[in-house]
Structure 1
Amino acid sequence: MSTFTISPDYGYVILAASTTFIMHFVHIGNVGKYRKLAKVAYPKAYAPESRTDNEAHLFNCAQRAHSNFIENQVSMLGALMLAGIGFPKTAGALGGAWTVARYLYMTGYNKGGEGGKGRYRGIWFWLCQAGLVGLAAYTGVSMILA
């Protein structure tokens, strides 16, 4: 049986993971705010397409930003935890940057606009996420080859 020791620097990874949980609550509050303004009752996830008013559009943008966050958070966290085994500080930095990018994505999307293009200001979360996936894979390969 083999064992390994987790570096105290792994705390950066845990801290970065924690920021994503906080960001999730920010998304929940954001969607709730726009839901109230648009007067969209539960359990409706989105305003109906028949509504063309700005409040409905902004609610749909906020809801879509939240959905995109949820779609990506799980795989990002997995990659963060695995990458952090070999590269705790780098993984922690990429994880923290991912959360900042997700905030910018959300606030940009909240501005509405044609096709929600404001989200592009935070689209660089993909670079952080790809870096984490690459580091996770590299960590696995290096463990096998060691």
Structure 2
Amino acid sequence: MATMTIAPDYGYVFLAATSTFIVNVLHMLNTGTYRKAAKIAYPAAYAPDSRTDAEAHKFNCAQRAHANFIENQVSTLGALFIAGLTYPRVAAGMGLGWSVCRWLYMKGYSEGADGGKGRYRGIGYILFQLGLFGMAGWTGVATVLGW
């Protein structure tokens, strides 16, 4: 039976994971701010299509940015934890980079301008996410082959 030893540097992976939790809270605060400005009552997830004002549009953009974050956070965290077993510092750096890009994505998308193109400020998150997926996969291959 194969065994793995977790490096002391794995603590950096925990810190990077924690950064994603902080970004999630920032998303919640951001969306709440736009909800209040648009006067969208709970439990409505989005402003209705009948609302064409800027505040409703910005709320919808903030809400969509948060939903996109949640859609990607789980798989990114899984990849971060797996990749961190073999490459703790690199994985942690990529996880932190992912969090920063997701914050930039949120800020840009929430402005609601130009068809949501503000989100492209944080589009680099895709590179960090794919890098973590690749490192996680490589960690699995290396473990199975005993490298």
| TM band (smaller chain) | over 0.9
- Within 2, Cα distance between the matches of 1:27 and 1:99? 12
Question: Which residue of 1 is the match for residue 107 of structure 2?
Answer: 107
1:86 is displaced (CA, Å) by: 0.5
Please show how residues 1-146 of structure 1 align to structure 2 within 5 Å: 1-146=1-146
Cα distance in 2, alignment partners of residues 131 and 105 from structure 1: 18
Equivalent pairs, count: 146
Q: State TM-score, norm by structure 1.
A: 0.98
TM-score, with structure 2 as normaliser: 0.97
State the 4+ residue runs in structure 1 displaced beyond 3 angstroms.
Answer: none
Please state whether the residue corresponding to 1:16 is helix, strand or coil. helix
Residue ranges of structure 2 left out of the alignment (5+ in a row) = none
CA distance in 2, matches of 1:5, 1:39: 52
Identity of aligned residues (%): 62
Unaligned runs of 5+ residues in structure 1 are none
Pairwise CA RMSD of aligned residues? 0.7
Please give the alpha-carbon distance, in whole angstroms, between the structure 1 residues aligned to 2:74 and 2:4: 24
Q: Distance in 2 between matches of 1:66 and 1:19?
A: 15
Deviation track 1:74-110 (CA, whole Å, cap 9, x = no partner) reads 0000000000001000000000000000000000011
Name the amino acid aligned to 1:116.
Answer: G
Distance 2:31 2:37 in 1: 10
